Amino acid sequence: MRIAIIGAGPGGLYTAALVKRLRPGCRIDVWEAGAPDQTFGFGVVFSEGALGGIEAADPQLFARLEAACAQWSRIDVHHRGQVMRNGGYRFSAIGRRVLLSMLRTRCTELGVTVRYGTRAPEAALLAGTYDLVVAADGVNSSTREAHREEFGTEGGTRGSRYLWLGTDRTFTALTFAVAETEFGPMHAHAYPYAPGLSTFIAEVDDHVREAAGFSDRDAGTPGGGRDDEGTADVDRIAGFFAGVLEGHRLRTNRSRWARFSVVRNRRWSLGNIALLGDSAHTTHFSIGSGTRLAMEDGLSLALAVDAHGAVPDALTAYEAERRPDVESMQRTARISQEWFEELDRYTDLGLEAFNAHLVTRSGRLTQEDMPSWSPDRVELIRDRFARADSLLRGAAAR
């Protein structure tokens, strides 16, 4: 089988590595428009369930990821100079650059070719020469945009603007902070992902942004465009959150004011072209799940390709397995996003009530409440990959 993958983000690379492990005879070609070590953003959070799926599918990759992840167990809510600490959670996070580098290494070890710095030919062209084309080309997917009607694409940008930043303060919890500025409230989500490094996402309403005189350029998404747009506002943001940052600096990495893009598709495949990850669906970053969902899509698609000889059957099985989880997460994410959009309804509450509203905003209290693979499915995943490995070892010995 010949598979073309458009995009070497977490979704594309993980899919390539897993299909190659299950079907070593497959020819897999991956195209990535960017350079190998060039990416947007900082750290991304993983839930416990996400790492469980990776452990079952690829214990080697899991061990490397686990060793590189920062871990913590609290959500801290900062409000009007006070902090409420909520324990009993299990979070881990990793730098996006490190995650991509590990996935790239795994692909190289398994013999997958990734062409960096090269835009993929159009999916419709690839569909004529490859058995399967995977469009893992992100939130602005040109594959999806070329066939919006056929995929039944819905959504668009909405809500307040955010800036994806980093800081050299090592937070010790998933931290939410509100800064009540003279222009109105701003809020930030922060969490650690490596020693001396944390993600810091600042969000602001349009009327506050205008009053504060922040840049009104809308990047649409954090990737692409000029590097310095939005960065001029960063020192002022650091000033507004000085208490939470404890004097540490904010850093930028292709950081530009953007609105969150909602993406939904009535169908995820068209002939032998499949959407995967952000090209198929997005979830607001306040529930930190997009990377995990993209990788879980990759796992599901790899299993489906292995189980079904015929591509149409594999694509039907892939979508049937993934859609319920994804839609459930999208519902949760929408509620979470709306809560933050209406933040000024809650800011006059006392710390305890504010904290309770914030941590229960989506109705799901813990990451364990989030949908993930059932124990039976994890067992099956483990078996399938272990069997593929032993077949490979047998063939190598002969």
Ligand X SMILES: Cc1cc2nc3c(=O)[nH]c(=O)nc-3n(C[C@H](O)[C@H](O)[C@H](O)COP(=O)(O)OP(=O)(O)OC[C@H]3O[C@@H](n4cnc5c(N)ncnc54)[C@H](O)[C@@H]3O)c2cc1C
The 8-class DSSP code of residue 172 comes to S
Binding ligand X by CB under 6 A: which of 3, 4, 5, 12?
12
- 11 binds ligand X, rule: CB under 6 A: yes
Tokens 């979470």 belong to 336
Supply the DSSP string of 127-156, one letter for each residue. Answer: HHHSSEEEE---TT-HHHHHTHHHHTEEEE
Distance between CA 232 and CA 214 in Å, rounded? 8
Cβ burial, residue 389 (10 Å; 0-12/13-18/19+): middle
Quote the least distance from Cβ 80 to ligand X, whole Å: 25
Q: Identify any residues that bridge with 45 across adjacent strands, giving them in sequence order.
A: 93
SS3 state of residue 213: coil
Q: What is the nearest approach in angstroms of ligand X to the Cβ of residue 196? A: 18
> For the window 230-269, what string marks contact with ligand X as x by the rule CB under 6 A?
----------------------------------------
- Which one of residues 285, 339, 354, 373 is an interface residue with ligand X (CB under 6 A)? 285
Residues 282, 329: contact at Cβ < 8 Å? no
At position 40, the amino acid (one-letter code) is F
Q: Does 8 bind ligand X (CB under 6 A)?
A: yes
Cα–Cα distance measured from residue 281 to residue 228, given in angstroms and rounded to the nearest whole number: 28
Residue 277 interacts with ligand X (CB under 6 A): yes or no: yes
Smallest distance, ligand X to C-beta of residue 81, A: 26
Q: Is the CB of 136 or the CB of 273 nearer to ligand X?
A: 136
DSSP string, 66-89: HHH-EEE--EEEEETTEEEEE---
Residue 218 is a binding residue for ligand X (CB under 6 A): no
188 binds ligand X (CB under 6 A): no
Q: Contact region for ligand X (CB under 6 A) — 65-73, 172-180, 284-292, 354-362?
A: 284-292
Q: Least distance (Å) from ligand X to the CB of residue 268?
A: 12
Residue 49 interacting with ligand X (CB under 6 A): no
Least distance in angstroms from the C-beta of 43 to ligand X: 7
Query: Binding ligand X by CB under 6 A: which of 49, 95, 138, 184?
Result: 138
Query: Which tokens hold the place of 139?
Result: 């939130």
What are the helix (H) ranges across 196-310? Answer: 206-212, 234-240, 242-245, 290-307
Site string for ligand X, 288-307 (x = CB under 6 A): xxxxx-x-------------
Q: Which residues bind ligand X (CB under 6 A)?
A: 6-12, 31-34, 41, 44-45, 119-120, 136-139, 142, 162, 164, 201, 222, 277-278, 285, 288-292, 294
